[in-house]
Structure 1
Amino acid sequence: MPGSNGDFLKTFVYRLAECSCSEQRWAVMKETLGDLGASSVIAAKVQKSSGIIDWMQSSLPETVIFDYLSEGFMNHDLIARHAASKPRDLVWRPRDGWNAEGENDSAGFAGFVAESGFQSIVSSSISDSSGYSRYAITYCSEYSSNRVLSDEGKARILQSCKIFLPWLSWQGIKSAKDFTHANKRTLSPRERDVLCYLASGLQNGQISGALGISDTMVSKHIFHAREKLGAQTAAQAVAIAIREGQINL
């Protein structure tokens, strides 16, 4: 771990001040937390009333982002909900499950984070000037908490997040690279399969036989596809998916 705590923080502040744009500051933030053991860094703007993410920028692997979107975890992100409703720092080991007060992990978000390879999570947030949203920085590490979350390590991670958060709330980031729009609607592979079969004229029973799943699961995939695409009917979901290029006939 580089230098004394005072030197570490001073270097980080100077590097941020020397940046000429938000993208450079984001790069400095990723590098700084990377030196502290971060495998990925996430910045997000979260609606205070609902915990729903308005936008997100991250260095997450593409496979993790795809699963995050296609399985609907953007709407069940317990870290974002914590930032929105409990303005306290979060230090969490995903393998322990989700034990935060008042939150139900019915969607299996903790399991998803653990399966993505992250063993240590640290998150800090700040309210925007309107009071309607919060900005959050989340540190994700594949290293165990014993390795990266010593008292000194945890303090440096949280101090770095708190130093960066005002820059984030002042100017945001949202460059093309690393940016994920909250309205992006990504179907899971199974949802695409089901809609493809529907587009080919098959009924639910025929689709269940073709895919080797139950009729109930077929209906569930259709329901989630409709929900993601904002469709009122299965036929409308098929039409939207074709138009968006998510399925091909």
Structure 2
Amino acid sequence: MVGKAESIGRWLGIIVDLFVPSRIVAVTKRRRYRCTQIKANIRFFSSSSDLPQKSVSIPMEKREELFGQLCERFSRSNAADGRSAWDIALDTVTEVGGSALNAVSMNSQTKQLLWARSSMERCWLDEYEANDYQRADPFLASFRRGESTFRIDAGTLTRSEQTHDRAFELNHNLALGGYGSFLSSAFGDFGCGERLMVVFCSRYRLHEVDALAGIGNVQLINAFIAANIRDARPEPLSSQRIELRNQVLTPRERDILLWLASGLRNDQIAYRANIAEVTVRKHLISIRRKLNARTREQAIAIAVRDGWIVP
């Protein structure tokens, strides 16, 4: 009986290869792969301790209904009407109280930012680039640290010793720009060496987003978006493109910072790394320049804050 079933399966495969156009087969495989990505994203968040403790509960039947709606919606991307997955993602975000969408791709190994796309106002993106807010962006820092999610209300940071002046400025200028809150979801590389972070932006505060749509629903939507926009890298002249200034620490520089953070002196680091002590000093100068740090201690603090090292 098993042999007969296997034989039927082989014949069905031959029939599909002969009579089903290769384009349809390719699209089916691509959709099946995206569905696998989505399920992995959802499982990841379902087991995450980063989920808010006080959020709108989502009945299972409602979650399944939303899942089906999102599957149907994103399956229409690149159809005859020419709408891309990015366009569909923007419509979806708007329908649940969002006002903009950000997406950032990063190399999993080097932590180098590969591309970034945003539907925020172009005047705000120009201000972001001009003021080099990338250095103080808490979402990029969270992304580098490998956190699954990060969220914050705009205009709520207070000045303190722990808060970078530029981070305070960024947080309050976002509120002045009409933005209320931000919720990020970061997902693994699925074997391609690339991680993706999706940031849901809203004019409402987080507790209002939770009441309107449910934080869990927003994270489910982010999972679908991440699985479908991996080819959404913006064109060089696109108004939604964000220019990234990568100051990537090399693996050697990260090792030296870790040893420095553990209390080793320059000569001990040189012995551990099997390099000359003068080379250690050159590495430390390079690290301070890349991190815009005045002292070695400040370089360590910035590297920990931004996710370059985990002591």
TM-score (structure 2 length as normaliser) = 0.50
Which of the pair has more CA radius of gyration?
Answer: 2
Contact 1:136–1:165 (8 Å) recurs in 2: yes
Q: 2:143 aligns with which of 83, 107, 115?
A: 83
Per-residue CA deviation, residues 192-237 of structure 1 (Å, 9 max, x unaligned), is xxxxxxxxxxxxxxxxxxxxxxxxxxxxxxxxxxx9xxxxxxxxxx
- SS in structure 2 opposite 1:139? strand
Structure 2 counterparts to residues 127-146 of structure 1, below 5 A: 127-129=188-190, 133-146=194-207
Matched, 1:124 2:185: yes
Residue identity over aligned pairs, in percent, reads: 13
Contact 2:156–2:172 (8 Å) recurs in 1: no
Per-residue CA deviation, residues 138-190 of structure 1 (Å, 9 max, x unaligned), is 01111122322238521111100012212233x34324644315358xxxxxx
Ranges of 4+ aligned residues in structure 1 off by more than 6 Å: none
Q: 1:35 aligns with which of 87, 95, 105?
A: 95
Residue 166 of structure 2 aligns to which amino acid in structure 1?
A
Matched, 1:71 2:144: no
Residue 157 of structure 2 aligns to which amino acid in structure 1?
G
Matched, 1:159 2:220: yes
Per-residue CA deviation, residues 121-149 of structure 1 (Å, 9 max, x unaligned), is 11101122467542111011111223222
Residue 229 of structure 2 aligns to which amino acid in structure 1?
L
TM-score (structure 1 length as normaliser) = 0.61
Contact 1:57–1:178 (8 Å) recurs in 2: no
Q: Are residues 88 and 52 of structure 1, via their aligned partners in 2, closer, same or farther at CA, if it must alter by over 3 Å?
A: same
Q: Are residues 128 and 37 of structure 1, via their aligned partners in 2, closer, same or farther at CA, if it must alter by over 3 Å?
A: same
Aligned equivalents of 1:73, 1:82: Cα separation in 2:
15
Aligned equivalents of 2:195, 2:110: Cα separation in 1:
11
Gaps of 5+ in 1: 185-226, 228-249
RMSD, matched Cα: 3.2
Residue 112 of structure 1 aligns to which amino acid in structure 2?
N
Q: 2:208 aligns with which of 139, 147, 151?
A: 147
Moved more, 134-143 or 74-83: 74-83
